[in-house]
Amino acid sequence: MAHSVGMLGQECFDLKKKAIAHLHDYSFMDEIPTIDYSLLFSKDHNERAKSLEHLGKACQEFGFFYLINGVEERVVEGALKGISDFFELTNQEERSGYLKKNSMDRIRWCLRSHAGENREHLKIVTHPVYHCPSKPDRCKIRRATFNLYPPSLQSKGSIGLAEHTDPGFFVSLIQDVNGGLQMLSHKGNWITVNIPRNSIFISIGDHLEILTNGNYKSHIHQVILDNNEVKRISMATLHGPSLDTFVAPALGFIDESHPPTYRGMTYKESLELNGFDEIDVQSSLIQLRMPLSL
């Protein structure tokens, strides 16, 4: 989530922002859709089919949605409590032991991502072996980034995390204080995410956009310190394929009218374009996009 890009990478990322209206040519409303997880497995065929259609539309027309009735409230609260306990360790050396030393580190703690950002984070990447911090005991998750946005003297509206998209198939997010996260629509409008209580925010990742040949959308997003008097804790969990999986537009999304939009490569190769970071990195979609035919 915290990788500096060179001039070329930044130019590519800016290009995606300018071209977003062209790449994501679909209807959009500012109200973020809600998907009821329990209805996706309803025994009523019509109800289940309607819910699956709703899910597909959310992925196509939005690229992000709220998920309800998927996880018990005590589980969400327990996860946030574990994250809070880590960031409240009194001895900073206990945290600095996880300070990122190189791009292959599986547990990485950092006080800041980029200059001007106000964030402390812990990233856990566990492929294929399970790695977790030893303290606190309850701080266990498979593959995630934990973020602490502390109270800040900076002006309201300052950057907590710069604009980016996420690789992988999708990212799930929970947080203890609403606000902060903003998604960029194809119209160029920033939409503030206010996650309902006991809900999970789901956003489509770059590789699901690649797999669906652009039918499902990976959106640029950022974190703004809209309430600089309150600390905010979030947990973003990446869901993606194994490193050796070859990801390319699936045949079901390709025909004469819809040629491949992206070139394929292994998940590992595409991550290497981003310095092997897995969450909160600059988008590699532009680099993988096939040139438009004249």
Q: What is the pLDDT of residue 2?
A: 37
**Is the distance from CB of 171 to CB of 203 less than 8 angstroms?**
yes
- Lowest mean pLDDT, pick from 44-53, 91-100, 184-193: 91-100
- For range 133-147, the mean pLDDT: 46
Q: What is the pLDDT of residue 42?
A: 94
The share of the chain scoring above pLDDT 70, in percent, equals: 55
- Dump pLDDT digits (tens) for 59-83: 998 899 999 987 888 888 887 787 7
- For range 176-203, the mean pLDDT: 84
CA–CA separation, 30 and 20 (whole Å): 16
pLDDT band (50, 70, 90) for residue 184: confident
Any long-range contacts for 78-82 (C-beta under 8 Å, 24+ apart)? Answer: 78/138, 79/141, 79/174, 79/235, 80/174, 80/175, 80/176, 80/233, 80/235, 81/138, 82/136, 82/138, 82/139, 82/140
pLDDT at 91 over 50: yes
pLDDT at 34 over 90: yes
Domain 7-288 has CATH 3.30.2350.10: no
pLDDT band (50, 70, 90) for residue 138: very low
- Lowest mean pLDDT, pick from 68-72, 132-136, 183-187, 238-242: 132-136
- Lowest mean pLDDT, pick from 68-72, 123-127, 177-181, 210-214: 123-127
pLDDT band (50, 70, 90) for residue 111: very low
More confident residue, 231 or 69: 69
